[in-house]
């Protein structure tokens, strides 16, 4: 079975500071990993994904994430946070192979303070 853990319910960061949203995963095989962002009363917007290749993945809006196989982590990062980055962030994983759906973490609310 696959699962995702987002250990922080809430992350607060000052505007202009770097931000990190943590994610660890568990799959039986190799993972496909995704980050999505959700604004209030909206669906999810795709940020970035890791399938294979370079462990550092760059995505939309200046976000990036680093795949660490030994630590089974896929933390989301941004060098300089903006107030407009404030939203709910979801990490998701899917096991390679088959028609398996994404499994989501519980979400982390990011608040960027001006």
Partner 1 sequence: GAVVSQHPSRVICKSGTSVKIECRSLDFQATTMFWYRQFPKQSLMLMATSNEGSKATYEQGVEKDKFLINHASLTLSTLTVTSAHPEDSSFYICSARKGPSTDTQYFGPGTRLTVL
User: In the complex, which residues of this chain contact partner 1 (CB under 8 A)?
Assistant: 32, 34, 36, 41-46, 49, 51, 90, 94, 96-107
Nearer to partner 1, 29 or 114 (CB): 29
SS3 breakdown of the chain: % helix, strand, coil, rounded to 5? Answer: 5, 55, 40
Nearer to partner 1, 24 or 105 (CB): 105
> How near is the Cβ of 18 to partner 1 at its closest, in Å?
25
98's torsion region: left (phi>0), alpha (psi -120 to 50) or beta?
left
CA atoms within 13 A on the CB side of 101: 2
- Detail the DSSP E strand segments found in 6-55: 10-14, 19-21, 24-26, 31-38, 44-50
Q: How far does the chain reach from its first CA to its final CA, in angstroms?
A: 41
> How near is the Cβ of 17 to partner 1 at its closest, in Å?
25
Nearer to partner 1, 41 or 70 (CB): 41
Nearer to partner 1, 7 or 79 (CB): 7
> How near is the Cβ of 44 to partner 1 at its closest, in Å?
4
> How near is the Cβ of 32 to partner 1 at its closest, in Å?
7
């Amino acid at each position: 079975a696959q699962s995702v853990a987002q250990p922080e319910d809430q992350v607060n960061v000052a505007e202009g500071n770097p931000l990190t949203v943590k994610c660890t995963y568990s799959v039986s095989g190799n993972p496909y990993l995704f980050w999505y962002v959700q604004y209030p009363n909206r669906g999810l917007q795709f940020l970035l994904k890791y399938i294979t290749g370079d462990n550092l993945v760059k995505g939309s809006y200046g976000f990036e994430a680093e795949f660490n196989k030994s630590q089974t982590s896929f933390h989301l990062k941004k060098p300089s946070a903006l107030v407009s980055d404030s939203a709910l962030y979801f990490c998701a994983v899917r096991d390679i192979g088959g028609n398996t759906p994404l499994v989501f973490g519980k979400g982390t609310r990011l608040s960027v303070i001006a």
